[in-house]
Chains A and B, each alone.
Chain A
Amino acid sequence: MMRLVQRNGWVAGLLVLLIILLIATKIIQPDFGASGVESLGRASVPFAFATAAMAIVVIAGGIDLSIAAMMAVCSVTAARLMVGAGDGETVLIVILVLALGALMGAINGAMVVLTRVPDIVVTLAMLFVWEGTALLILNTPSGAATQWLRDLILGSLSIPGLPERATFIPKSLVFVVICLIPFWFIMHRTKLGLSIYAVGGDPVAAFRSGVPIGRTRIIAYSLAGVLAGLGGLSLTMSTGIGEPIPGPYLLASVSAVVLGGVALSGGKGGIIGPIVAVFILRLVRMDLTLMSVDPNVTTIVEGTIMVVVVMLGGMLAMKGRRP
Chain B
Amino acid sequence: MKSWYQGVAAAALLSGLGTAAAAEGYTIGISNTVQGNGWREEMVCAMKAEALASGLVDSLNIAHRNTDAAGQLEDIRNLIQAGVDAIVVNPANADGINAAIKEATDAGIVVVAVDQAVTEPSAYILSNNQEEYAYVGAKWLFETMGGTGAVVYMRGAAGAGADNDRDVGFKRALAEYPNITVAQEVFTGWQQDQGKQQILDILASGIPIQGVWTSGIDNVIVDAFVESEAPLVPIVGADNAGFVGQLASVEGLVGAAVTNPGSVGGAGVALALQILQGQMPQAQTVLVTPALWANNSDEGKALIAAGQNPNLDPEWPVSVSIPGWTTYTMDQIIACKGPGE
Contact = CB atoms under 8 A, between A and B. Distances in A.
Query: Do A and B touch (CB < 8 Å)?
Result: yes
Interface of A: 29, 31-32, 35-36, 39, 42-43, 46, 134-135, 138-142, 150, 235, 238-241, 243-248, 282, 285-286, 289-290, 292, 294-296, 298-299
B93 A243 contact: yes
Contacts of A289: 61, 63, 75, 78-79, 81-82
A150 B71 CA distance: 17
B81 A286 contact: yes
Given A245-B160, A248-B68, A239 B82 contact: no
B74 A282 contact: yes
Interface residues of B, number: 38
Contact of B95 (A32, A135, A141, A235): A141
The interface residues of chain B, by DSSP majority, are classed as mixed
Nearest to B83: A31
Contact of A238 (B70, B79, B81, B94): B70
Residue of B67, B74, B75 with highest tally of chain A CB at under 10 A: B74
Contacts of A296: 35, 64
Contact of A239 (B60, B66, B97, B158): B97
B80 interface: yes
A42 B74 CA distance: 8
B159 A29 contact: no
B68 A243 contact: yes
Residue of A43, A239, A241, A244 with highest tally of chain B CB at under 10 A: A239
A126 B77 CA distance: 33
Contact of A244 (B61, B92, B97, B159): B159
B313 to A, nearest CB: 15
Given A139-B159, A286-B81, A296-B64, A239 B164 contact: no
A283 B64 CA distance: 16
Interface string B48-75: 0000000000011111111111110111
A42 B64 contact: no
B74 A43 contact: yes
Contact of A240 (B75, B78, B79, B99): B99
B95 A240 contact: yes
Contacts of A294: 62
Contacts of B38: none
